């Protein structure tokens, strides 16, 4: 029953986390900033906006992107197969990319291309993330991971690589090129409006819940350590976001494949020979 409740409230939790992040960023920049519930106020404003449908496929894929991400979060909360969850998350991301390619907007296509390049950068790390926990626990089950002691010491390099993924998936500088408003007016979601933009907007909230749930797996059965890892990662992500400038897509790929993927691969090699 508790798991079902957590799944149903996941979008709300993501919205609160997103709102709290905006408050924290405002304080870091020494300004007042929006209230905690601003994301929900934005949702209410979107309800009053006119919904323009570019084409039915575009609208449907946007909804499927949200539903698939909600399913990803649900399976993660329920302790499902980690490898299946990684691939389902990939499918959810592809729905948004296909939606962007289904319209004629050049900005939408640029955003879709950048999303695909981003996926090439972070997906190997997510797959190695699942493989590493399998090597330690003999199972891809998230329940098995949560039942064992913290693996942070054994997976330190992978944890550092995963922090790169958190920064990218949440569209934070320096890895926010896929949603660069100054360059491509919002990226893959630029042609959504009204009700259908609400689904894409809430999908971002679910991304917050998903990546931080995965991050806390490094704590194993240590709930206190999981909370500490979440707080440290949350503050670090926003500090880096406020202190860095956006990198170009080619630099993003080089950083991920040259540093993050290398760190994760070294960690797997270490596990294999220990």
- For the beta carbon of residue 30, count every other beta carbon within 10 angstroms: 7
3-state secondary structure of 81: strand
The domain segmentation of the chain, as residue ranges, is 2-273
pTM comes to 0.93
Q: What is the pLDDT of residues 162-181, one digit of tens each?
A: 999 999 999 888 888 777 66
* Model pLDDT, residue 181: 67
Q: Which residue has the tokens 């986390």?
A: 17
Each residue's pLDDT expressed in tens, for the chain with a length of 274 residues: 788 999 999 999 999 999 999 999 888 888 888 888 898 988 888 777 777 777 889 889 999 999 999 999 999 999 989 999 999 999 999 999 999 999 888 888 888 898 999 999 999 999 999 999 999 998 999 999 999 998 898 999 999 999 999 999 998 888 887 776 666 667 778 888 878 888 888 999 999 999 999 999 999 999 999 999 999 999 999 999 888 888 888 888 999 989 999 999 999 999 988 6
Distances (CA, A) of 266 to 20, 137, 139, 146: 35, 19, 21, 24
Q: What is the pLDDT of residues 176-213, one digit of tens each?
A: 877 766 666 677 788 888 788 888 889 999 999 999 99
HSE-CB for 38 with a 13 A CA cutoff: 13
Q: What is the pLDDT of residues 87-113, one digit of tens each?
A: 999 999 999 999 999 988 888 888 889
CB distance 132 to 235 below 8 Å:
no
């Amino acid at each position: 029953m508790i798991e079902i409740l957590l799944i149903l409230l996941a979008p709300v939790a993501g919205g609160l986390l997103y709102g709290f992040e905006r408050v924290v960023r405002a304080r870091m920049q020494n300004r007042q900033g929006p209230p905690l519930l601003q994301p929900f106020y934005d949702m209410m404003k979107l309800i009053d906006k006119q919904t323009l449908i570019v084409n039915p496929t575009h609208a449907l894929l946007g909804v499927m992107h949200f539903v698939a991400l909600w399913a990803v979060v649900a399976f993660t909360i329920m302790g499902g197969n980690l490898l299946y969850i990684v691939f389902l998350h990939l499918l959810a991301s592809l729905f948004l990319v296909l939606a962007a390619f289904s319209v004629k907007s050049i900005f939408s296509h640029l955003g879709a291309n950048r999303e695909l390049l981003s996926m090439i950068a972070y997906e190997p790390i997510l797959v190695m993330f699942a493989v590493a926990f399998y090597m330690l626990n003999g199972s891809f089950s998230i329940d098995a991971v949560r039942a064992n002691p913290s693996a942070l010491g054994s997976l330190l390099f992978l944890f550092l690589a995963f922090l790169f993924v958190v920064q990218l998936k949440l569209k934070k500088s320096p890895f926010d090129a896929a949603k660069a408003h100054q360059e491509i007016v919002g990226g893959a979601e630029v042609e959504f409006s009204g009700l259908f933009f609400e689904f894409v907007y809430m999908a971002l909230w679910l991304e917050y819940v998903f990546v931080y749930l995965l991050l806390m797996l490094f704590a194993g059965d240590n709930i206190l350590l999981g909370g500490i890892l979440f707080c440290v990662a949350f503050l670090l992500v926003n500090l880096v976001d406020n202190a860095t400038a956006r990198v170009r897509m080619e630099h993003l790929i080089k950083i991920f494949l040259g540093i993050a993927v290398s760190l994760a691969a070294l960690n797997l090699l270490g596990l294999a020979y220990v």
